[in-house]
Structure 1
Amino acid sequence: MAKFRLLPDEQLARSPFKQLWREFSRQHSAIAGLLIFSLFFLLVLLSAVLTPHDPYLQNDSLLLLPPSWSQQGLVQYPFGTDDLGRDLFSRLLVGARYTFGIAMITVMGALVMGLLLGTLAGMTKGLKSSVLNHLLDLALTIPSLLLAIIIVAILGPGLQNTTWAIMLALLPQFVHGIRNAIAEQLNQDYVIAYRLDGANNWQVFSRIILPNIWEKLTLMATMALSTATLDIAALGFLGLGAQAPTAEWGAMIADSLDLIYIAPVSVAIPGLLIFLAVLSVNLVGDGLRNAAKKRREN
């Protein structure tokens, strides 16, 4: 009996993930963003191990030490010290856990809650769905940062309350996107045919809808991650998020703002890290969007 071998393109067509990766890997900017994103993710996991000094240890003999590339700098302190003698390099490494790590936690929490509420709004009819959709439309008119500030003002300042505030602020856009994605799937012929075969709502959702909207969920999560990172840093800068002496990037900028002419590195490097974190997420998100679009076209 003759054996037939699939061509590479036919093999990739059987695996949507492989085909998505093939289109994604062709974009140099997306690969660069993925590398930077992976670096920040590793810092979130390993920052406690990589810190050469205690990020909260104060040293009166090393106040405002310049970076190591300066003539007065020390190799042991690559980025110098702050006005309390704390190692900036160690504080920046630990800050990745607060600014970028907590942003990832908030996005995951908002995604899970948004999936539950979005499914409820998209697969139910009547008064319950109508009330939920109207409340959702009202919440979407408020910018996420302003909504987070309102929630923090109610709950009180602090990193834990900031996490809940940003999670709740991101929730409306997840619910809205998931609701629209589910409503679009419910109008497809294969869903109607599956219902005619006797499938219930759970079977339709778990076997048909969810596998077909995972790309949109991934895109929404990547876009929300950049928003969450900026919101956490902004709340820390305004004094509503992380409180001293927590080494969060936004709070570090606020604490060192008066020293910008004396020690500009203490302000510039946290700002640069926030910029790179947001840029990497946006590059990955744009790459995924373009790859998903090209995969559907093929």
Structure 2
Amino acid sequence: MAKFRLLPDEQLARSPFRQLWREFARQHSAVGGLLLFSVFVFLAILSPLLTPHDPYIQNDAMLLLPPSWSEQGLVQYPFGTDDLGRDLFSRLLVGARYTFGIAMITVIGALIMGLLLGTLAGMSKGLKSSIFNHVLDLALSIPSLLLAIIIVAILGPGLQNTTWAIMLAMLPQFVHGIRNVIAEQLSQDYVIAYRLDGANNWYVFTRVILPNIWESLTLMATMALSTATLDIAALGFLGLGAQSPSAEWGTIMADSLDLIYIAPVSVAVPGLLIFLAALSINLVGDGLRNAVKKRREN
């Protein structure tokens, strides 16, 4: 009996994930963003093990030490020290865990809650669905940062309250997006066929809808991560988020704002890290969106 071998394109077509990766890898900006994104994830996980100095130890003999490329700088302190003699490089490394790491936690939490509420909204009908959708539309009319500020003003400043505030502020976006995706799936012929065959809502959601919306969920989470990172840094800068002596990037910028002419590195470098983190997330998100679009067209 003759044996047939699949061509490479046919082998890739058998795996949607591999085909998605092939389309993603063709975009050089997306791959560069993924590498930068991986660096921030690595720092968020292992930054406490990489710090050359204790980020919270004050040294009166090393106040406002310039960066190492300056003539008065020291190699042991690459970015110099702040006005309390703390190593800025170590504080920035640990800050990745606060700004970027907590942003990932908030997005995961908002995604889980949004999946539960969005599923109920998308698969429910009648008066309950109408009321829920109107309340959701009202919440979406408020910008996420403003909503987070309102929640923090109620709960009080602090990193833990900031986490809950941003999670709740992003929740309406996830619920709205997931509701629309599920409503679109419910109108598909294969879902109608499963319903006519006697499948209940739980079976339809877990076996039919969920495997077909994971790409949309990934895109939502990626775009929300950029917003969460900026919101955490903004709340820290405004004094509503992480409080001193926390090494969160926005808080570092706020604490060093009065020293911008004396030690501009202490303000410029945290701002640059926030920019690079948001840029890497947006590049990955745009690459995923284009890859999903091309995979569906093929």
Q: How many residues align?
A: 298
Q: TM-score, length-normalised on structure 2?
A: 1.00
Q: Does 1:187 align with 2:193?
A: no
Secondary structure of the 2:116 match is: helix
Structure-1 residue corresponding to 2:141: 141
Q: For residues 161-176 of structure 1, what are the structure 2 equivalents within 5 Å?
A: 161-176=161-176
Q: Which residue of 1 aligns with 2:90?
A: 90
RMSD of aligned Cα (Å): 0.4
Secondary structure, aligned partner of 2:9: helix
Task: Report deviation, 1:128.
Answer: 1.7
Deviation at 1:176, TM superposition (A): 0.2
Aligned residue number for residue 247 of structure 1 = 247
Equivalence for 1:263: 263
* Post-superposition CA distance 1:125-150 (Å, at most 9, x none): 12221111111000000000000000
**1:228-243 mapped onto 2 (5 Å cutoff):** 228-243=228-243
After superposition, what is the alpha-carbon deviation per residue over 1:191-214, rounded to whole angstroms, capped at 9, x for unaligned?
Answer: 111111110000100111101111
Aligned partner of 2:64 in structure 1 is: 64
- Residues 222-270 of structure 1 show CA distances to partners (whole Å, capped at 9, x for unaligned) of 0000000000000000000000000000000000000000000000000
Kindly provide the amino acid, as one letter, of the partner of residue 35 in structure 1: L
State the distance in 2 between where 1:112 and 1:129 align. Answer: 20
The residue correspondences of 1:121-140 to structure 2 (distance < 5 A) are 121-140=121-140
| Partner AA of 2:213 in structure 1 | I
Q: Distance in 1 between matches of 2:250 and 2:131?
A: 37
2:215 maps to 215
Deviation, structure 1 residue 96: 0.2
TM-score, normalised via structure 1 length: 1.00
Q: How far apart, CA to CA, are the structure 2 residues paired with 1:297 and 1:189?
A: 19
Q: CA deviation at 1:70?
A: 0.4
Please list every run of 5 or more consecutive structure 2 residues that lacks an aligned counterpart in the other structure.
none
AA partner of residue 195 (structure 2): R
SS of 1:84's equivalent in the other structure is coil
Structure 1: any 5+ residue segments left out of the alignment? none
The alignment partner of 2:242 has SS state of coil
Distance (Å, rounded) in 2 between the aligned partners of 1:83 and 1:250: 17
Match of 2:292 in 1: 292
Distance 2:283 2:207 in 1: 31
The amino acid across from 2:272 in the alignment is L
Question: Runs of 4 or more off by more than 6 Å in structure 1?
Answer: none
| Cα deviations by residue, 1:47-103 (Å, 9 ceiling, x for unpaired) | 010000000000000000000010000000000000000000000000000000000
Q: Percent identity?
A: 87
Provide the rounded CA distance (Å) in 1 between the counterparts of 2:141 and 2:292: 28
